[in-house]
């Protein structure tokens, strides 16, 4: 099932970091491109990513963002985009939590 969503950032700092990538070195600009393409795909279908089992959701994310679900969107070069799906009345919202390289992602989820 495909459900459209709107993209929101969990923190303003994430939006600022994304803008820095856009103006950064070529590999940062490439990551920016991957992330914005992921946003487009998530807007078309909130379930584009892979759901993380609830038992693996980091407690820091539950406490900080008050989320009960996390989805992982695999980006090229072993980067991961983390987001949560929620709703606002009848509108589905994809709340962007973070992006991490594979090593940081594994550390966060204790793999």
Q: CATH no. for residue 43?
A: 3.30.2310
pLDDT in tens, 79-88: 999 999 998 7
Q: By the 8 A CB rule, do 18 and 103 touch?
A: no
Is the residue at 33 inside a domain? yes
pLDDT at 27: 96
Is the residue at 90 inside a domain? yes
How does 20-52 read in b/e, with b if 16+ C-beta sit within 10 Å? Answer: ebeeeeeeeeebbebbeebbeebeeebebbeeb
The total number of structural domains in the chain stands at 1
Is the residue at 85 inside a domain? yes
pTM: 0.82
pLDDT bucket at 104, cuts 50 / 70 / 90 = very high
Is the residue at 27 inside a domain? yes
Q: Whole domain around residue 98: which residue ranges? A: 6-108
Is the residue at 47 inside a domain? yes
pLDDT at 82: 96
Is the residue at 67 inside a domain? yes
pLDDT in tens, 11-66: 999 999 999 999 999 999 999 999 999 999 999 999 999 999 999 999 999 999 99
Is the residue at 21 inside a domain? yes
Is the residue at 1 inside a domain? no
pLDDT at residue 91 greater than cutoff 80: no
pLDDT at 20: 96
- Residue ranges with strand state E in 1-111: 6-9, 50-51, 71-74, 79-88, 91-101
């Amino acid at each position: 099932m495909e459900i459209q969503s709107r993209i929101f950032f969990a923190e303003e700092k994430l939006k600022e970091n994304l803008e820095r990538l856009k103006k950064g070195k070529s590999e940062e600009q490439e990551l920016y491109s991957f992330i914005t393409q992921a946003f487009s795909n998530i807007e078309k279908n909130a379930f584009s990513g892979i759901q993380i089992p609830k038992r693996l959701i980091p407690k820091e994310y539950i406490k900080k963002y008050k989320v009960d679900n996390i989805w992982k969107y695999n980006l090229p070069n072993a980067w991961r985009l983390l987001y949560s799906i929620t709703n606002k009345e009848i509108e589905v919202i994809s709340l962007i939590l973070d992006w991490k390289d594979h090593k940081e992602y594994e550390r966060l989820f204790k793999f």
